[in-house]
Structure 1
Amino acid sequence: MDNKIRIQLSVMMFLQFFIWGAWFVTLGTYLLTDLKTNATEVGVAYLTQSIGAIVAPFIIGLIADKYFPAQKILGVLHVIGAVMLWFCGTAPNFNAFYPYVLIYMIIYMPTLALVNSISFRQMTDPSKQFPPIRFLGTLGWIIAGFAIGWLNWEKSGSLDLTFKTAAAASLLLGLFSFTLPATPPLKKGSKTSVRDILGLDAIGLLRNSSYRIFFLASVAICVPLAFYYNFTNPFLNEVGMNGAAGKQAFGQVSELVFMALMPLFFKRLGVKKMLAVGMLAWVLRYALFAYGDTGANYWMLIGGIVMHGICYDFFFVTGQIYTDELAGEQFKSAAQGFITLATYGVGMLIGFTISGPIVDAHQTTGGLHDWQQIWLIPAAIAAVVLILFLLLFKDRNRGVQLESPAPDKFMPATDAI
């Protein structure tokens, strides 16, 4: 691959995830402290991610794959997104804020698939060329978090600047996208059905009893996962952690470390144990949050953050590989689209819906919260899912060997969170 193209793709990927990391992590804190919302409204705001995840395949399947070059669609979406982000940062209340964030997430979620598509189309050997470029995306998210923590925007009440910073980066990426290598549509003139878009051709995998258990566990584990996305940053700020967004970025550092170690673990543990360790990590993470504080138990808060690598890599990445192995060549893409829709569409939607009211129900005097009781709820949910999974799932792919995590096996929407 030409060095110029490599640099272009790297810049694209860095900005793509810098934009998301710049505002998404601290969204809950911004809504609770700056716009004076309740926790239920925080859940409603995060719910826009699930709506975007459900809508995204239609934008890609019906527009990008058939009519227009991917880099031009990427440019247009990010320019429009810049406007929406700016309005998010200037909205005076939640009623004014919500339409902007909803439109933005419907616009942004399709760009996750677009940047991958643009990258793969320029590569001669994606398995070797994609990981270093995708690494720049995670680095963008990490730098955004470190910058927010270093600038102390959470404590100074300046989180509106996160949206304005993201808006500037989005405008930059939007304009930059028009200079990217041409990526014309692959399915021009072809017919695309709703079944194709949603990956429903892979629904036959559910006839496999073990995969059916994994599928249901994947949807269920996304319910407690939503608590983490919604309320970790408000929790850390409320208990007095300085530079919470910057500390949370260590979760992405952990993700990179465990991603590199995955082939070693996968070979020794197999599918069932890998998935179980991932779910157990969610139980332990929430327990650490429940009993951690900024005093003697500060290590628990940091430990809960750093466990992100195990939480995400061991369950979700292993699950993607397991899905890929069972699907076979004909249904690989459909299977990944199907499991993504089910988890980050349906599972997260349920989680975002119930987490807000639960947090509101545990509000105490002075607008504070009983975080110990709050975190024990997703811990209990994850524990129940883990126990049922251990009892019912049979590891029939024990012989699968993993050389390295291939880029086309990753769900594009969340691996930088």
Structure 2
Amino acid sequence: MSIKFRLTLMSFLQFFVWGAWLITVANYWFGTKQWSGAEFGAIFSTLGISSIIMPAITGIIADKYVNAEKLYGVLHILGGIALMYIPQVDNPSTFYYVIFAAMLCYMPTISLSNSIAYNILKTNNFDVVKVFPPIRVWGTIGFIVAMWITNLSGNKASYNMFYLAAIAAIALGFYSFSLPKCPPQKLISKDASIIEKLGLDAFKLFGTYKMALFFIFSMFLGGALQLTNMYGDVYLSEFSKVPEYADSFVVKYSTIIMSISQVSETLFILAIPFFLKRFGIKQVMLISMLAWVLRFGLFAYGNPVDGLWMIIVSCIVYGMAFDFFNISGSLFIETTTDSKIRSSAQGLFMMMSNGFGAFFGGIISGIVIDNYFTNNGVRDWHSIWLAFAGYALVIAIAFAVLFKHKHNPNDVANVSH
């Protein structure tokens, strides 16, 4: 098998694991288990906590001590075992701790998979900016395939979604051991400082105004990243409570409708090299933030009949909103950091966006929705989505004013080798 195919398979399985349950877990939580909303926000905060604790640590380990592909494999196997146990859980507290264990293993593998792909592609003299996005597209396809299997098999509110994810995770764990070796990039010298030995030298990036601001806005935008993953499917499913929409395609196949978002991702990933070279990181991230405003705003006014076009356009816009932030941010780190701390820096980016951002986004959104937008168990989705849109707009305006970056197309080209 070619190097590109092997990395493509890794990317496919990486996000298949997530897609099998991430979008549909709200239906399992609110529908099958009938647990409360505030607790659900806490469940999604485990993604954030895990991204705060683990990616930086695993990045340090991969930079300095252990082959990245071996660490990646062990984490997936352990995470798969945790997911396998979830169907046995019968109360919210235990569910929280088990999903937390699974996320402690899964979340760092996202940045690790990027580091592994970059390392192997560079070792084999590929142009990373051109070759990586098409490989990463297959991760999104894996996410979509998992969503469709979950929905079409009648398991969008069933514990079987966790078994599906677990099997894929364990299979990926064993597969990763066959990947080309990705040894630590930085050997520890006897004269190294305590900070270098602990792998904390990536945190010096906060000493640069531009990088510090980049990480801070990554955190704020990270607060929006998981909101439609948390609530999108259950939002569409709850149109069943309105008689005129109860039997609509949107209600029956809400997960498939949501998968349009991931289909859109595959297209926008391929556009990233052009946009990054043409407009630069500031413009691309600003486009992402404005796309989040549209994503939430269109959801606020959409419905399964005459407003269906708004729901579909919102899903299409999601591809731009998500990719232009996540993938472009990862490539930005790759172009602006020293190779000796690159895995650590990728972990730091993950920690700020999917860590602190997702943590606060999950906790605060759960509390706010429960206390301000829910009446007798009925959620006011129109106001919820408008509130999220307002949040994204404030971030976009602040970023446009505060983040200073002079675009140089050659910076992006430098990531290739």
Q: Same fold (TM over 0.5)?
A: yes
SS of residue paired to 1:296: coil
Alignment partner, residue 110 of structure 1: 108
Q: CA deviation at 1:357?
A: 1.0
Give TM-score scaled by structure 1 length.
0.83
Q: CA deviation at 1:288?
A: 0.8
Q: Which amino acid aligns with 1:200?
A: F
CA deviation vs aligned residue, 1:29-86 (integer Å, no higher than 9, x gap): 2211122221211111111111221222354245444544444333332222222111
1:258 paired with 2:260, answer no
Distance 1:20 1:405 in 2: 32
Alignment of 1:114-153 (within 5 A): 114-123=112-121, 124-126=124-126, 127=128, 129-153=131-155
Alignment partner, residue 167 of structure 2: 168
Correspondent of 2:295 among 285, 292, 295: 285
Alignment partner, residue 218 of structure 1: 218
CA deviation vs aligned residue, 1:163-215 (integer Å, no higher than 9, x gap): 01111212222333344444444446556748734721211222x4xx65554
SS of residue paired to 1:259: helix
Distance 1:139 1:253 in 2: 7
Alignment partner, residue 203 of structure 1: 206
1:78 paired with 2:76, answer yes
- Structure 1 segments unaligned to the other structure (5+ residues): 409-417
> Residues 281 and 75 (structure 1 numbering): CA distance in 2 closer, same or farther, change over 3 Å?
closer
Alignment partner, residue 411 of structure 1: none
Q: Which amino acid aligns with 1:400?
A: P
CA deviation vs aligned residue, 1:283-320 (integer Å, no higher than 9, x gap): 11111111111121011111111111221233444445
Q: Which range moved further: 349-358 or 227-236?
A: 227-236
Alignment partner, residue 55 of structure 1: 53
Q: Which range moved further: 192-201 or 282-291?
A: 192-201
Alignment partner, residue 340 of structure 1: 350
Correspondent of 2:362 among 352, 362, 368: 352
CA deviation vs aligned residue, 1:381-410 (integer Å, no higher than 9, x gap): 11222223334444x4144368779689xx
How many correspondences in the alignment?
398
Alignment partner, residue 26 of structure 1: 24
Contact 1:199 1:337 in 2 (8 A): no
SS of residue paired to 1:245: helix
SS of residue paired to 1:358: helix
Distance 1:69 1:403 in 2: 27
Q: Which has the higher contact order (CA 8 A, sep 6+)?
A: 2
Alignment partner, residue 409 of structure 2: 400
1:363 paired with 2:337, answer no
Q: CA deviation at 1:264?
A: 4.0
CA deviation vs aligned residue, 1:68-105 (integer Å, no higher than 9, x gap): 44443333322222221111122112122111111111
Q: Which amino acid aligns with 1:9?
A: L
Q: Which amino acid aligns with 2:168?
A: A
Contact 1:202 1:338 in 2 (8 A): no
Contact 1:198 1:341 in 2 (8 A): no
Distance 2:253 2:72 in 1: 32
RMSD of aligned alpha carbons: 3.1
Q: Which amino acid aligns with 2:161?
A: T
Q: CA deviation at 1:27?
A: 1.8
Q: Which amino acid aligns with 2:172?
A: L
1:248 paired with 2:258, answer yes
Alignment partner, residue 307 of structure 2: 297
Contact 2:221 2:357 in 1 (8 A): yes
Q: Which amino acid aligns with 1:341?
A: M
CA deviation vs aligned residue, 1:260-289 (integer Å, no higher than 9, x gap): 233444455455443332211111111111
Contact 2:80 2:170 in 1 (8 A): yes
Alignment partner, residue 324 of structure 2: 314
Alignment partner, residue 229 of structure 1: 229
